[in-house]
A and B are shown apart, each in its own frame.
Chain A
Amino acid sequence: MKEIVVISGKGGTGKTSITASFAHLGGKDVVVADCDVDAADMHLLLQPDFAKSEDFYSGFIAEIDQDECTQCGICADICRFNAIPVIKTQYRVETLNCEGCGYCPRVCPTDAIRMEEQNVGQWYVSTTRAGNPMVHARLGIGAENSGKLVARVKKEANRIAEETSKDFVLVDGSPGLGCPVISSLSGANFVVLVTEPTVSGLHDLKRVYQLVQKFQIKAGCIINKSDLNPQVCGEIEDFLMKESIVHISNFPYDETFTEAMTMGRTIVEHGNNGLKALLTKSWERVKQITNQGEIRG
């Protein structure tokens, strides 16, 4: 079993539309993991059945029992996150600021503070319209620990793939390069970078690739909307060459992306368009390179 992770650095490059098309092409041989837990959208295209759902608990928030509190103020003094202001003569926890470090209950002389475990989201195990087993999640509003939820989703997807002898786990990652992205890269066999020929696209690609290098994972790149700016597209191609990143394909600027999305389906299901052929070829290439990686060790 091999794990393929699709990320982009910059948002809005077409990452999820492309990943969903790969998932559809892979069908029941591919387990899909939507690890963009902060703004998970892939279910809008793959239409999974949400067969099984489970709450996700992670992290803590301090809670002060006002009956036990003697107003000594030690908790507020040691809190580095300004999370215990005095409101109407009472020490109260400002939940948005509380990091859940658990320092305050350890210094409270009257044991008035408890750490409450937080329900920060749900995760689901589904089957998609194309027959993929799919693991996906929804992070609660303003929740922390998205990296841990990503790890949970990936672990479940890998378990399903092992148990049912699937060839691939296909992971849709989140934008940026912080904790959820770091979490989605851990254990990956191949990374697909989806970019666009804009100054931002190139800038973000370079930064996210530095992160990929830290993990020493083989990478390939799809340049979406490639005809938008031929000059920047050339700069990206030079960058790929220099860094020995596999140049998987260029996709033209094409509103089929939006049309298919509006119909709630993947691009490869949306009639016979030029993109379908490019996506099919790219998916074959991605599978081939991912498997090659193993032979080279």
Chain B
Amino acid sequence: MKIAIASGKGGTGKTTLATNLTAYLAEEDEVVLIDLDVEEPNSGLFIKGEFVYKEDKYKMIPEWEQDRCTPCGLCQEVCNFHAIIQLSDQIMLFSELCHSCYACSELCPTSALPMIPQKMGEMKHYRNGNLSFVESRLDIGQEQAVPLIAQTKEYIDTHFSEKMIKFFDAPPGTSCPVIEVTKDVDFVILVTEPTPFGLHDLKLAVDTMRELNRNYGVVVNRHGIGNDDVLEYCQNENIPVLAKIPNDRSIAELYSRGELVYQKVPAVKEQLIKIMDQILELKNGEAK
């Protein structure tokens, strides 16, 4: 079972929920946490474990072989991402714009653009008791998170059984990296806060999940600040509110030190239990 933890707005508590929920579940069962916020992965600051495996991740880009080039200009013409520019008989490649579609390489009449791997980031795998933790990290200056997310998901699919519960910590927003994380999961937890920004961005996230046809529920974090508009919205739209995590400066302080919260704040543990009960109910419902 795959569960994504996402949010429209950043800083609502995705990572707090992902790390606490998985650490709590790992007290009893095998569970996998995958940090797919590859631009700014933070789960590893809260989850420590024994190092298992590391792999550099590559994307494929064309390399220009000048002595084979005629130069006919077809590569520049076929590239929809403006990653290839021809200046007289010189070809310039902008690898950060390349989407690895292979069109230039395979359509080149003289095979002057073979595809070669270029490092875009790295993936690390750790283990702490029942908890397996995998994180991927985009190299600074790389523009596209999607290929790294896709490759990390492939690693998860081939290394962990389908039955295991897997939590994906998603990046904020609603654009392509979020789609890549959430498009094929069984359930999405949308974390928000009860403020105008939280509500506005929650609506965008809900629209996205509806478009993707995903099952989803909402966790309201910092409950008690702001107003009741988020709860009213969820009620009107028939969106399940899985839990309300109270606003509490001591939670923020624990978080600031990189500590897990649920062992020290009983109210948080209660909410985690509530979330899991509802998700497991869903899982059992599926099994039937």
Q: B39 to chain A: which residues have CB within 8 Å?
A: 175-178, 181, 207
A107 — which chain B residues lie within 8 A by C-beta?
107
CB of A130 within 8 Å of the partner chain: no
- Which residues on the A side are within 8 Å of B195 (C-beta)? 258, 261-262
| Residue A164 interfacial (CB < 8 Å) | no
Per-residue CB contact flags for chain A residues 9-39 toward chain B (1 = under 8 Å, else 0) read 1111100100000000000000000000011
Interface residues on B, range: 35 or more
B173 at the interface (CB under 8 A from A): yes
Interface-central residue, B8, B101, B141, B195, by most chain A CB under 10 Å: B101
Could you tell me if A207 and B40 are in contact, using CB atoms closer than 8 angstroms? Answer: yes
Interface residues of B in 159-202 (CB under 8 A from A): 171-179, 183, 195-197, 200-201
Complex Cα distance, B201 from A174, in Å, reads: 13
Our pick among B40, B177, B227, B257 for the contact of A203 (Cβ within 8 Å) is B40
Interface size for A (C-beta < 8 A) is 63
Partner among B11, B103, B197, B225 whose Cβ is within 8 Å of the Cβ of A102: B103
Contacts of B212 in A (CB 8 A): 96, 142
A-B contact count (CB 8 A): 181
Question: A182–B144 Cα gap in the complex (Å)?
Answer: 11
Set of chain A residues within 8 Å of B142, measured between Cβ atoms = 178
**Contacts of A41 on B, CB cut-off 8 Å?**
9, 196-197, 200-201
| B249 sits at the interface (CB 8 A) | yes
Task: Name 10 interchain pairs, CB-CB below 8 A, sorted by A.
Answer: A11-B9, A80-B100, A101-B81, A103-B103, A142-B178, A176-B171, A180-B175, A198-B257, A253-B249, A264-B196
Give B residues with C-beta under 8 Å from A. Answer: 8-12, 15, 37, 39-40, 42, 45-46, 78, 80-81, 99-103, 106-107, 138, 140-145, 171-179, 183, 195-197, 200-201, 204, 207-208, 211-212, 225-227, 249, 252-253, 255-258
Instruction: State the 4 A-B residue pairs at the shortest beta-carbon distance, nearest first.
Output: A12-B11, A11-B10, A101-B101, A176-B39
A residues at B contact (CB < 8 Å): 9-13, 16, 38-39, 41, 44, 60, 78, 80-81, 96, 99-103, 106-107, 115, 139, 141-144, 146-147, 174-182, 196-201, 203-204, 207-208, 210-211, 214, 225, 228-229, 231-232, 253, 255, 258, 261-262, 264
